[in-house]
Amino acid sequence: MSESASFDPWIANDDLLRVFNWQEVFGNANPVEIELGAGDGGFILEYAKRNPQKNFIAIERLKGRVSKIAKRAVQRDLSNLRALRLQSEYVIGYMCSPGSISVIHIMFPDPWPKRRHFKFRLIQLEFLAKAHKALANGGVVRFTTDHEEYFQWANRVWASAPGWKNIGVWDASDDPKSDFQQQFEAEGKQSHRCQWMKI
């Protein structure tokens, strides 16, 4: 943490049995949104800056990327953003108290294109059951990918999972772009988006 910062954006992952009380973490009761697989944080850093009335958590498994997000959060004085170096599935399944998250953002998750690797994809029935529990009533998952086949596949998994409703795309025209999004768009690739609400 920078000596001048009044908050530490990097949440320690030293207690895997911890269930977060977000009010304690952030010092307020504002709604909490989470990004899974946040990469270098291009999306969440800017989104947190534009939405100071909400709290944000960036989950990422790679240390260098979490370090980058935490450093930039301090530089930009984003006291509403925290970063946590852990597996997305674990955080959603075991460290978020039920109903404590308002939005889950998933931007360009690893597509695992080979059939024998589909089991590694994030969107699975088991994950959706955990996400459903972590979300508040009416909470949503916003899913964006450049990979058309994963997009179709994920929507089929969602449609077969209990307690979800597809509420279509949201207006993302003013949303900050993630690092992979910028790269893919520069290559002329199209993004596919869907939004599923907990019902």
Binds ligand SAM (CB under 6 A): choice among 38, 123, 128, 161: 38
CA distance 53 to 48: 9
Q: Is 180 in the site for ligand SAM (CB under 6 A)?
A: yes
Paired tokens of 74: 């301090």
The residues pairing with 68 across neighbouring beta strands, listed in sequence order, are: none
Number of residues that make up the chain: 199
Q: Is 37 in the site for ligand SAM (CB under 6 A)?
A: yes
Query: Coil, helix or strand for 156?
Result: helix
Candidates 105-113, 128-136, 153-161, 186-194: pick the segment binding ligand SAM (CB under 6 A): 105-113
Which one, of 156, 101, 76, 99, lies nearest residue 123 by Cα? 156
Candidates 16-24, 47-55, 132-140, 179-187: pick the segment binding ligand SAM (CB under 6 A): 179-187
CA distance 31 to 24: 13
Residues 55-84 that bind ligand SAM (CB under 6 A): 59-62, 65
Query: Coil, helix or strand for 96?
Result: strand
- Residue 15 bears catalytic tag: no
Closest distance between ligand SAM and the C-beta of residue 167, in Å?
Answer: 21
Angle of the 63-75 helix axis to the 42-50 helix axis, nearest 10: 30
Binds ligand SAM (CB under 6 A): choice among 8, 46, 77, 179: 179
Q: Is 107 in the site for ligand SAM (CB under 6 A)?
A: yes
Closest distance between ligand SAM and the C-beta of residue 107, in Å?
Answer: 4
Site residues for ligand SAM per CB under 6 A = 37-39, 42, 59-62, 65, 87-89, 107-110, 178-181
